Structure 1
């Protein structure tokens, strides 16, 4: 009896079946990605961020967020749970505490406690002696799922971006994997949460965000600026909003900066009213697949080593509260770690990154050179 199928044909059919039907964790949603302006026009390529100074983290990797605390020292969280402490004017880093998770966003409260958005453990408060208190535990459907960035108001209330309720980082044991799945799916399951330490009350301010990331308060503390990584934009959201659905128009929220050339990440307050924004990774083929959910599932079935990845491109911006870009610092050389934000002091601009083993910094004169006149 003749063979109906040859071995090569069987292999081809098996591969086709795998690419079409193998289970993946996402249920992709169709959406319309804006046409990218890449790094032209307002984001014309420059090299202001290239060849910066660096502080060796002595084995630490991924200072995703950096904050200047009330004791005058820099604090930064790295892979493995360590929060490192560095003197403001440089010097060797020391381990302040280990959270046992993955510390991302950092801020300080009026009592000098370090407030930590730990993607694996939750919202933490760390006293000056290193004592840790869990304020909100991660992976809770009713409280916080994937805490990413954090800011503290003068009244003590804490505002957190919850990057994905569909893909908690702790469940995937990886912040990058959980973030990638949220962006691939585009179900916009992220939200912005308020926590009141006095009453222990948790309130959802807004939901319907695709990987909400950085968050800062407006100068009058009546609004929040929030970066939505998955859709390349910055929102302004009224703090008074309650369970606001951002998929629908509202007077309580508006987009102040849209169609960014890369994924917006951390937002931090700088000098003279500036707000610094990190751009973490250039836009890619996902734009062309925005309205093709099935193909996004197919890509997830392809081994990662076969993915075509954009070359590293360091990029941070400074903007005003109304979304006007006032500084644009870039490193197109491919040598920069993935830039997730910037922390400005009177002397330096420290560059956050999620995958490097050093903390980069620029002296004041180079920062000034990058400001738009």
Structure 2
């Protein structure tokens, strides 16, 4: 009897304890079926892996410079470079979590750091902050960056409510606060292009410079913001109902886009989204109890209008899973991961 009373007390205390979120009811889109262009395959199982140094993990994004050296940022804040026939070297430590990477015309490495903001690392290894606040409020989760032909930097701030360490709470909360910004390096002007995004993630400027895309991770869709033409300044949906969780996205020179889907969608997560009370209670649980989706490798190619052309899978993550970025280069697709000890390359 005492045990039952103790359990009742514990459960009551848990229910009465304040939740870190005040979630909204949200009805997710119906996912597209895994058929047609989404038909499962194992094309990614031939991915070539390059191990990260010194037990580093989480090469979230990959960038390649004009000399063919590859760069990534890892969980401990290190920014790493590996040139052909040379071992990895540490270029800098941001003191945060480097996520998205892109090179400008001067071969400065622009870093979207999920803790420190939008950063610049020069070829001389000088690290500076370009933007870490907007209208007096900190940018909480600068997630990805892409650079237009005119040098304008477009970057996402995934959430204005929760820091990077609490990204799961942002998903449960279902109150979209992500934003897309532009940054002019010559003037330092920071502009808000879109807000109320469901965890603004990967960013890509179209090859013809007419629009910029931003992935909304927790809405399973991609938003397009027009940069030129009659629709300049307007936004619309580029693609939606994705059967996976969109993370990074990158433009290819042929006008298409490559998107990384971190994992297939969870039917359980979709079922609890309309239930705020349940989500508020789940948010109280330790992070260690959060469900971990099975590792799965998943990337898709889309045309300039958002139509899926093909998908590449590694269903059992034999070679690579938890893919967070896909960067097309002349010699193949470079793949980053959230926690993996290596980065990948699918050679053409």
TM-score by length of 2: 0.92
Distance in 2 (alpha carbons) for counterparts of 1:271 and 1:65:
19
Q: Which stretches in structure 2 are left out of the alignment for 5+ residues?
A: none
Deviation at 1:308, TM superposition (A): 3.8
Question: 1:22 maps to what in 2?
Answer: 17
1:319 corresponds to which residue? 302
SS at match of 1:203: strand
Out of 154, 172, 179, the position equivalent to 1:159 is 154
What is the deviation of 1:334?
4.0
**Which of 180, 185, 188 is equivalent to 1:200?**
188
Asked if 1:256 corresponds to 2:238, the answer is: yes
1:1-373 correspondence runs (5 A): 6-37=1-32, 39-58=34-53, 59-87=55-83, 92-137=87-132, 142=137, 144-169=139-164, 174=165, 178-239=166-227, 252-284=234-266, 285-335=268-318, 336-364=320-348
Asked if structure 2 preserves the Cα contact closer than 8 Å seen for 1:139 and 1:168, the reply is no
Q: Distance in 1 between matches of 2:119 and 2:100?
A: 11
Q: CA 1:320 to 1:90, structure 2 compared with 1: closer, same or farther past 3 Å?
A: farther
For the residues of structure 1 that align with 2:200 and 2:159, how far apart are their CA atoms?
8
Query: Tell me, what secondary structure is at the counterpart of 1:85?
Result: strand
Farther off after superposition, 267-276 or 206-215: 267-276
| 2:50–2:344 contact (8 Å) kept in structure 1 | yes
- Decide whether aligned partners of structure 1 residues 138 and 64 sit closer, same or farther in structure 2, where only a CA change above 3 A counts: farther
Q: CA deviation at 1:38?
A: 5.2
Over the aligned positions, Cα root-mean-square deviation in angstroms equals 2.2
**Unmatched tracts of structure 1, length 5 or more:** 1-5, 242-249, 365-373
Deviation, structure 1 residue 20: 1.9
Rounded to whole Å, the distance in 2 between the matches of 1:20 and 1:293 is: 13
Count of paired positions: 343
Change (3 A) 1:203 1:142: farther
Q: d(CA) in 2 for partners of 1:186 and 1:36?
A: 18
Query: So what's the TM-score if we normalise by structure 1?
Result: 0.86
Task: Indicate the SS of the match to 2:283.
Answer: helix
Q: Is the 8 A contact 1:109 1:152 kept in 2?
A: yes
